[in-house]
Amino acid sequence: MGEHRYDPVTGQYTTGHKWDGIEELYTPLPRWWVITLVITFAIAIIYALLYPGWPTTRFYFPGLLGWTSAGELKTEKDAARAAQAHWRDQIAAKPVSEIAQSEELRTFAITGGRSLFNQNCAACHGLGAGGQQGQFPSLIDDDWLWGGKLDDIYLTIAHGIRNEDAESRQSEMPPFGEMLSAEEISAVADYVLTLSDAKAVEGRKALPGAAIYEANCAGCHGAEGEGMREMGVPRLKDQIWLYGDSKESIVHQIGKPRMGSMPSWKPRLGDDAVKMLTIYVHSLGGGE
């Protein structure tokens, strides 16, 4: 042990510790730092007493405040629900046509409908409801299989299409692969392609597929390919295709119709949700 002495080189005192001629300078922790450390300990102890923590094998100390994150979430949710109750009650009480007429209710329904759509429908119809060619119809165009009026859309969403729901939309295109030869199917597919082609109107009736179409398809799809909404029969005279405009895709559909199906949503999401979804889908651009 040496003695405290003033070290002129560093301008500090030494502690008196000395090894092999090397002396330790006396540089204590700054006071503010020590105070901060003590305060931190104090806060940690107070926090540990107030909030849940300290697990044992079978239990945990719940904290003196009784706070839980689940409880906080519930309070926030209850508050949000209470704030929305005014709107929700009206949505529940009114038919979609009336909801759509009130600017405020409509805005509320569209906002709710959009988030419901993203959660439940986007997987098939796409995030922007643009659909997926060959599988799921676009909901933003004005080409509707089952109708684009509010009541039509409501029915489609509430009960779905070709499913086990008793009120589900039902229809079937017969599998012509079992009734027509491959040549006949090819011929009628060529004819179908002319329905949406303005330049082909002239010589169309002379095509070999014309008579086959007239006999087998016009009953549902219409003489000019107008479609039929009561049965969800697509228009064939426009450029919008559910399954694709290639001859290959059309031949496939005629031989073995795909019969797209959609679940019913009312049992899953409830009537209010279906109403909001209806208003949202109707607002997307193609609503009638």
Hunting for tokens 């059309």 — which residue is that?
Answer: 250
260 binds ligand HEC (CB under 6 A): yes
Structure token digits, residue 265 = 């949503």
Please give the Cα distance from 172 to 190 (Å, whole number): 22
Hunting for tokens 């060959």 — which residue is that?
Answer: 134
Which residues in the 64-93 window bind ligand HEC by CB under 6 A? none
Q: Which of 91, 150, 187, 232 binds ligand HEC (CB under 6 A)?
A: 232
Q: Which stretch binds ligand HEC (CB under 6 A): 32-40, 50-58, 83-91, 116-124?
A: 116-124
284 binds ligand HEC (CB under 6 A): no
Whose Cβ is closer to ligand HEC: residue 105's or residue 210's?
210
**Buried b vs exposed e over 199-227: b needs ≥16 C-beta within 10 Å?**
eeeeebeebebbebbeebbeebbbeebeb
267 binds ligand HEC (CB under 6 A): no
Q: Which stretch binds ligand HEC (CB under 6 A): 4-12, 37-45, 64-72, 254-262?
A: 254-262
Please give the Cα distance from 74 to 119 (Å, whole number): 21
**Buried b vs exposed e over 148-168: b needs ≥16 C-beta within 10 Å?**
bebebbbbbbbbbbeeebeeb
Q: How far, rounded to the nearest angstrom, does the alpha carbon of residue 7 sit from its chain's CA centroid? A: 73
Mask for 28-67, x = binds ligand HEC (CB under 6 A) = ----------------------------------------
Hunting for tokens 């209710």 — which residue is that?
Answer: 105
Going by C-alpha positions, the residue among 113, 135, 140 that lies closest to residue 124 is 135
Q: Which of 110, 156, 210, 287 binds ligand HEC (CB under 6 A)?
A: 156
In sequence order, the 6+-apart residues with CB closer than 8 A to the CB of 116 are 269, 273, 276, 277, 280
Mask for 162-181, x = binds ligand HEC (CB under 6 A) = ---------x-xx-x-----
Please give the Cα distance from 244 to 227 (Å, whole number): 16
Count of residues of this chain found to bind ligand HEC when the rule CB under 6 A is applied: 47
Q: Which of 96, 105, 139, 155 binds ligand HEC (CB under 6 A)?
A: 139
Q: Which of 93, 258, 270, 285 binds ligand HEC (CB under 6 A)?
A: 258
146 binds ligand HEC (CB under 6 A): yes
257 binds ligand HEC (CB under 6 A): yes
Write down the least CB distance from residue 173 to ligand HEC, Å.
3
